[in-house]
Amino acid sequence: MEEKTAPQSGKERFGRLFINDVDKIDCAIFDPSVGVVGQSWYVDITVSGQLDSNGFVYDFSHLKKLVKQVLKASLDHTLIIPVQSKLVHYQDTDRGELWRLQAKSRLTGVNSEWSYLCPKGAVYPIRSVQVTREIVEQECSRLVRHRLPEEIHSVEIHLRKEEERAGQSFFRYSHGITGHEGLCQRLFHGHRSRIEVYVADERRHDLEQWLAHEVLGSIVHIASMSQLVNPAADLRPGVRSENQTPLTIAYVASKGRYEATVPANRVFLVECETSIESITQELARLIGSEGVDLGAPIKVKCFEGIGKGAVAEL
């Protein structure tokens, strides 16, 4: 929370306002113990300060607009990297920012190597050894506070994950959409997403868990075949490799060139673009290709972060 000492005066009146779900953040985070991980949060904000002549701390609509502008220009749709980690190395090049990252699995102790060449702005550096929700909250609060007038004495931003209900399955993914003109072109931005599967009108939690955890591996980077540089002959849509051999993903978009190396077992391939529509269609196709006669129409509903997504039916 960013705050300063409120002035003391008997004539001044103070208040506190809040806006829940003022915005949402979709991003990717580099976790030195895991690698690149997609994340999505609701954004809640509370501000305290002196009341104006209308009895306002700050106008709701203006605050909402300001928060959206600040987050879009900073953390949203970026790869957030803890630059004080010894596993993070940075180099400024004539082609853009080059980040070399190393992750060490908590469970296996096996190192994985990642790299990311990107235009400026695609990475948001955080001065810490790891990225936590609390650290991102503090950073968001600081950024918003600097854009508000002195009459505002404190800003507190709280980030919330979408709640999990019994039986629901989530997966966390990063991706980049080559032809997108906006921030979705960034190769490492991400989401925390729910998946739903229906056979006729029956919800099938078993198929949801299979897709989220077995097929996608819970944490995954999604790439298209056209984004791969010199792909191996055994790579095809709808699968992840079983080894850690680095795959090179590269493309040129409107904001510049993006290139990354990712362990092959962390990459799920789709035929065309990596939009949520293409991802959902690929997952629905996989259920159909399993050879199990479910005897009814199949519907896959896949979210891109919170509150939006795509539907595919067989």
For the stretch 26-69, pLDDT in tens is 999 999 999 999 999 999 999 999 999 999 999 999 999 999 99
Is the same domain home to 130 and 240? no
Q: Are residues 228 and 150 in the same domain?
A: no
User: What is the average pLDDT value for the chain, to the nearest integer?
Assistant: 92
Is the pLDDT at 107 greater than 60? The verdict is: no
Per-residue confidence (pLDDT) for residue 88, from 0 to 100: 97
Give the pLDDT confidence score for residue 108 in this predicted structure: 57
Q: Which of 103-112, 250-259, 285-294 has the highest mean pLDDT?
A: 250-259
Whether residues 133 and 171 share a domain: the answer is no
Structurally, how many domains does the chain consist of?
A: 2
Long-range contact pairs involving 60-65 (C-beta distance under 8 Å, separation at least 24):
60/17, 60/19, 63/17, 63/19, 63/22, 64/19, 64/22, 64/23
Same domain, 130 and 189: no
Q: How confident is the model at residue 243 (pLDDT cuts 50, 70, 90)?
A: confident
Q: Which residues are paired to 37 by β-bridges?
A: 29
CATH number, position 212: 3.30.479.10
User: In terms of domains, do 1 and 140 share one?
Assistant: yes
11 pLDDT above the threshold of 90: no
- In a shared domain, residues 205 and 247: yes
Question: In angstroms, rounded to a whole number, what is the distance separating the alpha carbons of residues 79 and 35?
Answer: 11
Q: What would the pLDDT profile of 162-219 be if each residue is shown by its tens digit?
A: 998 999 999 999 999 999 999 999 999 999 999 999 998 899 999 999 999 999 999 9
Q: Are residues 196 and 246 in the same domain?
A: yes
Q: Per-residue pLDDT for 260 more than 80?
A: yes
The Cα 82–Cα 130 span in angstroms is 5
Sorting pLDDT into bands at 50, 70 and 90, what band is 233? confident
Distance CA 106, CA 175 (A): 24
d(CA 186, CA 303): 19
Per-residue pLDDT, 111: 85
How many other C-beta atoms can be found within 10 angstroms of the C-beta atom of residue 311? Answer: 15
**Residue 228 domain flag:** yes
Element (H, E) at 63: helix 60-72
- As a whole number, mean pLDDT of residues 274-288 equals 94
pLDDT at 299 over 80: yes
Query: For residue 242, what pLDDT band results from cuts at 50, 70 and 90?
Result: confident
Mean pLDDT to the nearest integer, 233-248 = 88
Asked, for residue 116, whether it belongs to a domain, the answer is no
Show the domain range for 76. 1-107+124-161
pTM reported for the whole predicted model: 0.93
> For residue 313, is pLDDT > 70?
yes
Instruction: In whole angstroms, give the CA distance from residue 314 to residue 1.
Output: 49
Give the three-state DSSP class for 184: helix
Whether residue 8 lies inside any domain: the answer is yes
Look at residue 90 and tell me if it is in a domain.
yes
245 and 129 together in one domain: no
CB atoms within 10 A of CB 121: 16
Instruction: Average the pLDDT over 16-33 and give the result.
Output: 97
Residue 314 has pLDDT above 90, yes or no: no
% residues pLDDT > 90 (the chain): 82
